[in-house]
Amino acid sequence: QVQLVESGGGLVQAGGSLRLSCAASGSIVNINDMGWYRQAPGKQRELVATISSGASTKYADSVKGRFTVSRDNAKNTVYLQMNNLKPEDTAVYYCSADIASSIWYKSRFYWGQGTQVTVST
């Protein structure tokens, strides 16, 4: 079984920083795109950032210039460095990864359980 384990969430004051980590484990043949999503209470889930297997990145306009997504392929891990945090960044953050667990079948997306990020005023 493939599992994504997230860490790094917590409570931080506005203007502070946090780094989220998400490590994939299990039967992994290949990991393609990885990404981070977030969902605030009463709001739709939104894409925060993505990173391809070749390390090409994309960001939501709301976080561009403040957040940085990166990955360590040797560790099957994706990171989200969050700087200059704002109260509107408060949400549950989820990581996702497009993972092939077999050489015989097409990859599919897996999701972490989510980690709470709270930014106080």
The whole-number pLDDT of residue 117 equals: 98
Question: What is the total residue count of the chain?
Answer: 121
The whole-number pLDDT of residue 108 equals: 95
Closest CA to 92 of 47, 42, 41: 41
Instruction: Tell me the per-residue pLDDT of 89-119, one tens digit each, with 9 for 90 and over.
Output: 999 999 999 999 999 999 999 999 999 999 9
Token code pair at residue 3: 């599992």
Q: How many angstroms separate the CA atoms of 42 and 44, rounded?
A: 7
Distances (CA, A) of 98 to 9, 24, 111, 119: 22, 11, 9, 29
Instruction: Tell me the per-residue pLDDT of 26-69, one tens digit each, with 9 for 90 and over.
Output: 999 999 999 999 999 999 999 999 999 999 999 999 999 999 99
Confidence of residue 1 (pLDDT cuts 50, 70, 90): confident
